Structure 1
Amino acid sequence: MITGLFKGFGYVFTGLSLITQKGIRPFVLVPLLINIVLFSGGIWLASSQLEYWMNRLLPSWLSWLEWLLWPVFAVLIFFVIFYVFSIVANLIAAPFNSVLAERVEARLNGLPVPEFAGYKSLSGLIARTFKSEASKLWYMGKWFILLLILTVIPGVNVISPVAWTLFGAWMLAIEYADYPMGNHELFFKEELAALKKNRPEALGFGWLLSLLTVVPILNFLAMPVGVAGGTALWVNKLSKNA
């Protein structure tokens, strides 16, 4: 388990290395710009709403523990807001991320990078990626509601930051592994089964990537790093179980 988690961490660093390589960099530009715009909005929203939600989520009878719980809930609030913005960013950038995943996989497999057919070819990806994103949102929504209920129950909500962290790590692994797997016409059910067989690596990858999303400046790179790292995870591990 521990070994798998550390291997999962490594895919984030692999993704960071891949997006800087010649032949890959041009396909990072659009996802990067989308991430910069939306995460800038997320930073503003998280900063402006932090105190309000802290007062709502922290039960009055635990006010004497505020000095200890405040950092925990602050991390939770920032994490939820940034994760929601990550979903929106990935929905908008999905076709571009699929193209980036194709280029990265060609590089990892040692294949020559094919001539890019132009962004007009993205039209064929839109229906496929929309269906995949809809399946992910339905899966996420069921767990999101359960965790939201957990978060608003006084006393019980003390453990919610841990639950949200695990949930976020798992969903980010699903999100970014979906691009290379979708390029191979795998459906969400098949993708989920492959990830479950490699759960430690998936959680390690998603957890470190979730940390990247809350680090100023570095969070702008989270999307292209996630796509490239998720593609490396697919090539090295998931493709053997798909």
Structure 2
Amino acid sequence: MTHPSPVPTFSPQAGPADFFRGLSLLGRAWGLIFRSPRLLGMSALCALVTLVALGVLFGVLWIYAPQLLGGMWALPTVWYGRIAWYLVLVLLFVILLVVGANIVVPVVLAPLQDPLSEITEELCGDFTSPPFRLGALLRGLVTSVAHTLARVLFLLLGLALLFPLNLVPVAGSILWTVLGTLWTMFWLAGEHLAAPMTRHLYPFAEVRRVMGQRWLLCLGFGTGVYFLLWIPILNTFFLPVAVVGGTLLYRGLRAVGNVPPPPSALGK
């Protein structure tokens, strides 16, 4: 049985529907993973590692998040103050868990991200994975880890710039959490769009340009990946789905001309 091309169909022009098109990439990625034995096998391996990493991260934050908040804002004695404190604690726990997941898991699974993306592109057509060479594999592993660490630092930089909002009691912590969540959602899209574009030698300036041009599309995709983290069991697959979805996002943008042909194909 043949299946239609997995490459998504986007409008060449940005519009309000972009958010929902970006969100729908998760369903398209899930479908492609379960249609491809190679993608499914690698995703299962990623899921196992992710499950362990998320469990450890959850335990660490369960113990230390109250101490972190307590260092910035002592637990009030009045009942309404305690309610507000625990509300901020829940919000802080949520964003730290998401940020932590997007630091620990991508670094641990960095060696598998490019192979996942390459298999996805093969299924999209007009792409063949390069032949295996040990030297190229080792260089790819080093490059993948280095680029992942660089993008994680970019995420942390944005959160650090927002952090002074916590100096404003109650409202500042809530505002930091809300803005930090939006920043994380947008960063998630950039993280997984940049991965296949980096593999094809696009400069990061091109990634920034595309994200600025189709920001609502990227935000929709990043929102879907963000909330995938909160679905039990399925959240162990969040990185494979994000990698496949980010590759589909790249191919869809390239198909409508928002992304030019890759420099790697032009011999640059």
Q: TM-score range by the shorter chain?
A: 0.7 to 0.9
Asked whether the equivalents of residues 25 and 249 of structure 2 are also in contact (C-alpha less than 8 Å), the reply is yes
Q: 2:26 aligns with which of 12, 25, 40?
A: 12
Q: 1:62 to 1:103 in 2, by over 3 A?
A: farther
Asked whether the equivalents of residues 46 and 78 of structure 1 are also in contact (C-alpha less than 8 Å), the reply is no
Partner of 1:202: 218
Measured after TM superposition, the shift of residue 40 of structure 1 is: 1.4
Partner of 1:38: 53
Task: Give the Cα–Cα distance (whole angstroms) in 2 for the partners of residues 14 and 57 of structure 1.
Answer: 42
Structure 1 window deviating more from structure 2 (68-77 vs 207-216): it is 68-77
3-state DSSP of counterpart to 1:24: helix
**What amino acid is the match of 1:144?**
L
Matched, 1:64 2:80: yes
**Structure 1 unaligned blocks of 5 or more:** none
3-state DSSP of counterpart to 2:17: helix
Q: 1:49 aligns with which of 51, 57, 64?
A: 64
Task: Give the Cα–Cα distance (whole angstroms) in 2 for the partners of residues 217 and 52 of structure 1.
Answer: 28
Measured after TM superposition, the shift of residue 69 of structure 1 is: 6.6
**Structure 2 unaligned blocks of 5 or more:** 1-14, 260-268
Task: Give the Cα–Cα distance (whole angstroms) in 2 for the partners of residues 206 and 224 of structure 1.
Answer: 14
Q: 1:175 to 1:97 in 2, by over 3 A?
A: same
Partner of 1:173: 189
Partner of 2:258: 241
Asked whether the equivalents of residues 79 and 214 of structure 1 are also in contact (C-alpha less than 8 Å), the reply is no
Task: Map Cα deviations across residues 75-125 of structure 1 (whole Å, 9 max, x no partner).
Answer: 3322223322321221222221011001101112376x7697388853131
Identity %: 20
Partner of 2:243: 227
**What amino acid is the match of 1:4?**
D
Q: 1:62 to 1:222 in 2, by over 3 A?
A: farther
Task: Give the Cα–Cα distance (whole angstroms) in 1 for the partners of residues 24 and 140 of structure 2.
Answer: 29
Task: Map Cα deviations across residues 169-202 of structure 1 (whole Å, 9 max, x no partner).
Answer: 0111111112211221123232222222111011
Q: 1:149 aligns with which of 145, 164, 180?
A: 164
Q: 1:42 to 1:138 in 2, by over 3 A?
A: closer
Q: 1:16 to 1:76 in 2, by over 3 A?
A: farther
Asked whether the equivalents of residues 95 and 177 of structure 2 are also in contact (C-alpha less than 8 Å), the reply is no
RMSD of aligned alpha carbons: 2.9
Alignment TM-score, normalising by the size of structure 1: 0.85
Task: Give the Cα–Cα distance (whole angstroms) in 2 for the partners of residues 116 and 96 of structure 1.
Answer: 16
3-state DSSP of counterpart to 1:28: helix
**What amino acid is the match of 1:35?**
T
Task: Give the Cα–Cα distance (whole angstroms) in 2 for the partners of residues 206 and 82 of structure 1.
Answer: 12
Asked whether the equivalents of residues 107 and 149 of structure 2 are also in contact (C-alpha less than 8 Å), the reply is no
Measured after TM superposition, the shift of residue 216 of structure 1 is: 2.5
Task: Give the Cα–Cα distance (whole angstroms) in 2 for the partners of residues 120 and 37 of structure 1.
Answer: 30
Partner of 1:107: 123
Larger radius of gyration between Structure 1 and Structure 2: 2
Asked whether the equivalents of residues 100 and 227 of structure 1 are also in contact (C-alpha less than 8 Å), the reply is yes
